[in-house]
Chains A and B, each alone.
Chain A
Amino acid sequence: MADGSTSSEDTTRELLTFIALPAVSDEAFNDLALRIFARQFALNLPYQRFCQMRGKTPRLVKSWRDIPAVPIDAFKEFTLSCIPAEDCERVFMTSGTTRGDVKGRHHHPNLAVYDASMLRHFSEHFMQSDARLPMGILFPTETLMQNSSLAHYLGLAVQHFGSADSAYFLDQSGLRTDALCAALQKAEQSKQPFALLGASYSFVHLMDELQARGLSFALPQGSRILDTGGFKGQSRDIPMDDFYAQLSATFGIDRRQCINMYGMTELSTQFYDAGNRSVPSVKRGPHWLRSRVLDPMTGQEVARGERGILAHTDLANFNSVTTILTEDVGVASDDGFVLLGRAQGAEAKGCSLAVEDFLKAARG
Chain B
Amino acid sequence: MTIAHTEDVSVEVFKAGYLPGLRNDQVRWKRLQLGTPKDALTVEVPELSTDQIKTLASRIRQASRAHLKSWPASDIIRTIDTAIARLLDAQDPYRQALERLLPRATGFDSDMVRLGLNSYLQTFRALQLQRFVTEDFANPKLLDEFQPRPKGGWSKAIGPDLLVHVWAGNVPALPLWSFVSGLLVKAGSIGKVASAEPIFASLFARLLAEVEPRWADCFAAVWWQGGDDVVERCVFAEADVVLAYGGNAALQAMQDRMPVTTRFLPHGHKLSFGMVSKAALSVIRGQTTARAAALDVARWDQQGCYSPHVFYVQRGGPVQPLEFAQRLSSELAALASKFARRSLTLEEAASVASWRKHHEFESLRQAGHRVQGDASQAFTVVYADAPQPLLPSPLNRCMLVVAVDVLQDVMPLIEPQRAYLQTVGLAAAPEELLALGEALGQAGVTRICALGSMTSPEAGWHHDGRFSLLDLVRMVDIDQSAELAAERFTPYEL
Contacts and interface: CB of A to CB of B under 8 A. Distances in A.
Nearest to B378: A297
B365 A77 contact: yes
Contacts of A4: none
Contacts of A325: 357
A44 to B, nearest CB: 12
B196 to A, nearest CB: 14
A309 B357 contact: no
Interface stretch (B101-109, B185-193, B237-245, B341-349): B341-349
A71 B357 CA distance: 7
Nearest to B376: A298
A53 B363 contact: yes
Contact of B347 (A74, A297, A344): A344
B345 to A, nearest CB: 8
A53 B376 contact: no
A296 interface: yes
A49 interface: yes
B23 to A, nearest CB: 34
B350 A73 contact: no
Given A297-B376, A308-B346, A309-B346, A343 B351 contact: yes
B375 A299 contact: yes
A247 B344 CA distance: 37
B360 A297 contact: no
A219 to B, nearest CB: 39
Contacts of B350: 296, 309, 327, 329, 343, 345-346
Contact of B349 (A73, A78, A296): A296
Contacts of B360: 50, 53
A50 B375 contact: no
Contacts of B358: 71, 73
Interface string A27-55: 00000000000000000001001100100
Interface string B330-374: 000000000000001011011111100110110111000000000
Contacts of A73: 354, 357-358, 361
A345 to B, nearest CB: 5
Interface in A56-105: 71, 73-74, 77-78
Given A78-B361, A309-B346, A297 B354 contact: no
Nearest to A344: B347
B67 to A, nearest CB: 45
A296 B376 contact: no
Given A77-B365, A309-B346, A329-B347, 15 more contacts: A50-B361, A50-B364, A73-B357, A73-B361, A78-B361, A296-B354, A297-B344, A307-B346, A309-B350, A327-B354, A329-B346, A343-B351, A345-B347, A345-B350, A346-B351
A142 interface: no
A78 B346 CA distance: 27
Nearest to B360: A53
Interface in A302-319: 307-309
Given A50-B360, A78-B361, A298 B351 contact: no
Contacts of B361: 46, 50, 71, 73-74, 77-78
B168 to A, nearest CB: 17
A329 B349 CA distance: 12
Contacts of B394: 345
Looking at A49, A299, A343, the one whose CB has the most chain B CB atoms below 10 A away is A343
A77 B363 CA distance: 12
B332 to A, nearest CB: 16
B375 A298 contact: yes
A2 to B, nearest CB: 24
A73 B361 CA distance: 10
Contacts of B349: 295-297
A53 B352 CA distance: 18
Nearest to A47: B364
A234 to B, nearest CB: 16
A71 B350 CA distance: 11
Interface in A327-348: 327, 329, 343-346
Interface in B84-140: none
A343 B364 contact: no
Contacts of B346: 296, 307-309, 329, 343
A297 B347 CA distance: 11
Q: Which A-B residue pairs are the 3 nearest by beta carbons?
A: A296-B353, A343-B350, A344-B347
Looking at B347, B363, B376, the one whose CB has the most chain A CB atoms below 10 A away is B347
Nearest to B347: A344
Nearest to A299: B375
Nearest to B362: A77
B286 to A, nearest CB: 28
B351 A297 contact: no
A298 B350 CA distance: 10
Nearest to A54: B360
Nearest to A71: B357
B354 A71 contact: yes
19 contacts: A53-B364, A73-B354, A73-B357, A74-B357, A77-B361, A78-B365, A296-B352, A296-B354, A297-B344, A298-B375, A299-B353, A299-B375, A308-B346, A309-B346, A329-B346, A329-B347, A329-B350, A344-B347, A346-B354
Interface in B17-42: none
A328 to B, nearest CB: 10
B364 A297 contact: no
A327 B353 CA distance: 10
Interface string B46-57: 000000000000
A343 to B, nearest CB: 4
B444 to A, nearest CB: 24
B357 A297 contact: no
A296 B346 CA distance: 7
A341 to B, nearest CB: 10
Given A343-B346, A343-B350, A346-B350, A297 B375 contact: yes
Contacts of B375: 297-299
A227 B360 CA distance: 35
A46 B344 CA distance: 31
Nearest to B351: A345
Interface string A203-236: 0000000000000000000000000000000000
Contacts of A307: 346
A75 to B, nearest CB: 11
A199 to B, nearest CB: 25
Looking at B346, B347, B363, B365, the one whose CB has the most chain A CB atoms below 10 A away is B346
A77 B362 CA distance: 9
Nearest to B377: A297
Interface in A255-302: 295-299
B265 to A, nearest CB: 28
A329 B357 CA distance: 17
Contacts of B354: 71, 73, 296, 327, 346
Interface in B402-457: none
Contacts of A296: 346, 349-350, 352-354
